[in-house]
Chains A and B, each alone.
Chain A
Amino acid sequence: MLNYIWFGLMAIALIVAAFTGTVDAVTKGAVDSAKVAVEISLGLVGIMTLWLGIMRVAEKAGLIAMLGRLLRPFSRVLFPEIPPDHPAIGAMILNVAANMLGLSNAATPLGIKAMEELQTLNEEKETASDSMVTFMVLNTAGIQFIPATIIGVLAAAGAKNPTAIISTTLAATLCGAIAAVITAKVLQRFFPYRGNAVAEVAE
């Protein structure tokens, strides 16, 4: 799917540019975006290194497994394929918790760590497993308690009550997350995955 979306975005850009005369802007858009992408990736090196180190300590100390057992009732519903004591559960919980608190610097490395743990259970290394997709949509839904960035923008624009949007944002993000997870669970059987077939044969 990403193949078509990726090509489609660029092809549409070229066609539109041909009709509207924005070809120079499109060229600049491509070159600038490539630069920004590398800057973002390199910008992750420091926090990535820090959190992966701390996570290893947490894992060795048994904290990740403990967290996983503690929140087992939730994780069993969301990620039925993952064994209860697997470090993936703990890493995913930490990622969601960091997102909720708006700690995006910590949330990204923790999320990547969780994906790596999920990858160890994945039958087909280049294909997303059901658990990976469920975890992914929890992240794209962007669950957070305090949308600090946008409250800052509202305050800077002179809002009388910039925090009025906290409750509405929470409602939107929770509904979005629930809808995304339900959609993922419903759709997963329509997207073939060798891991599923293996699991069914094993049963």
Chain B
Amino acid sequence: MIREILGAISRWAIPILLVGIPLVGLIRGIKVYDVFIEGAKEGFNVAIRIIPFLVGILVAIGMFRASGAMDLLTNALRPMMTALGFPTELFPLVVLRTLSGSGSLALTTDIIKNYGPDSLTGRMAATMYGGSETTFYVLAVYFGAIGVKRTRHAIPAALVGDVVAAIVAVAVCTWMFA
């Protein structure tokens, strides 16, 4: 029931906003088309401004992944993960999720196929994918758009969030599905 309502909201939200916002503008006596054009002019510049930031981040991540450094990292941290009771087969996903959206989706799909879509591991992987965002991509796009170079505590705070989300995903799935 709740799922249907949320689904309907998601489907209707954009057309309703696209019509509703100018409607309120018209009622308040605004030249909506002129104002729209004035704001929209910025769009191209913003998208172009992101390019250097995104190229920088994605190239570094692309090189790191292609070198096989990821496997070395996960192997090195494996004993610690096992000691902490974190499923070792899911650990690469925790690292990849923060770095690459398409890469982590491919890995999650792979885990789901290998362990089965109704298995505990498969559901944990799905929860981990759905419960987080591609941190470094979001960082590059948002800070890139406004030209912020010193990110201060953004990366540590975001990574703490990612780690907590992954731990909660494993814990909640174990509690619900095991």
Q: How far is the CA of A191 from the CA of B153 in the complex (A)?
A: 6
Selected contact of B146 from candidates A2, A61, A119, A188, CB within 8 Å: A119
CB distance from B160 to the nearest CB of A (A): 4
What residues of chain B lie closer than 8 Å to A151, measured between beta carbons? 126, 130
Cβ contact within 8 Å between A157 and B113: yes
A71 interface contact, C-beta 8 A: no
B25 to A61, Cβ gap below 8 A?
A: yes
Known: A57-B25, A172-B169. A10 touches B154 (CB 8 A): no
Q: How far does the Cβ of B39 sit from chain A's closest Cβ, in whole Å?
A: 3
Size of the B side of the interface (Cβ < 8 Å), in residues, is: 97
- Assess whether B128 is interfacial by the CB under 8 Å rule: yes
- B 103-125 binary contact with A (CB < 8 Å = 1; else 0): 00100110011001110001100
A57 and B39 in contact (CB under 8 A), knowing A13-B66, A37-B54, A136-B158? yes
Q: Chain A residues with Cβ under 8 A from B90's Cβ? A: none
Smallest CB separation, A157 vs chain B (Å): 4
Q: Is residue A78 within 8 Å, beta carbon to beta carbon, of the partner chain?
A: no
Q: Residues of A contacting B172 with CB < 8 Å?
A: 167-168, 171-172
- Specify which chain A residues have a CB less than 8 angstroms from the CB of B80 in the assembled complex: none
On chain B, the residues within 8 Å of A193 by CB distance are 152
CB pair A2–B149 under 8 Å, yes or no, is yes
Instruction: Decide: A183 near B157, CB < 8 A? Known: A115-B146, A139-B138.
Output: yes
Least CB distance, B167 to chain A, in whole angstroms: 8
A52 touches B146 (CB 8 A): no
Q: Tell me whether chain A's interface is mostly helix, strand or loop, or mixed.
A: helix
Residue of B nearest to A175 (CB): B168
> Is B47's CB within 8 Å of the partner chain A?
yes
Which parts of A81-107 form the interface with B (CB within 8 Å)?
98, 101-103, 105-106
The one of A9, A53, A124, A181 in contact with B61, judged by C-beta atoms closer than 8 angstroms, is A9
Counting chain B CB atoms within 10 Å of each CB, the highest count among A17, A119, A141 belongs to A141
Residues in chain B near residue A183, CB distance under 8 A: 153, 156-157, 160-161
Report the Cα distance A109→B17, complex, angstroms: 14
Note all chain B residues with C-beta closer than 8 A to A153.
Answer: 105, 108-109, 112, 126
Contact of A179 among B64, B142, B154, B164 (CB under 8 A): B164
Q: Shortest CB–CB separation between residue A152 and chain B, in angstroms?
A: 10
- Enumerate chain B interface residues (CB-CB to A < 8 A): 3, 6-7, 9-10, 13-14, 17-18, 21-22, 24-25, 28, 30, 32, 35-40, 42-44, 46-48, 50-51, 54-69, 72, 105, 108-109, 112-113, 116-118, 122-123, 126-133, 135, 138-139, 141-143, 145-158, 160-162, 164-166, 168-169, 172-173, 176-177
> What are 10 A-to-B residue pairs whose CB atoms are below 8 Å?
A25-B66, A41-B50, A54-B21, A57-B36, A105-B14, A128-B143, A139-B133, A149-B105, A150-B108, A157-B112
A→B interface (CB under 8 Å): 1-2, 5-6, 9-10, 12-14, 16-17, 20, 22, 25-26, 28-30, 32-34, 36-38, 40-42, 44-46, 48-63, 98, 101-103, 105-106, 108-109, 111-112, 115-116, 118-119, 124-128, 132-133, 136-137, 139-142, 144-151, 153-154, 157-173, 175-177, 179-181, 183-184, 187-188, 190-191, 193
Given contacts A36-B62, A103-B13, A176-B131, 17 further A-B contacts (CB under 8 A): A13-B64, A14-B67, A33-B59, A37-B54, A41-B47, A52-B46, A53-B40, A115-B146, A136-B143, A140-B133, A141-B162, A164-B176, A165-B173, A169-B126, A176-B161, A176-B165, A181-B157
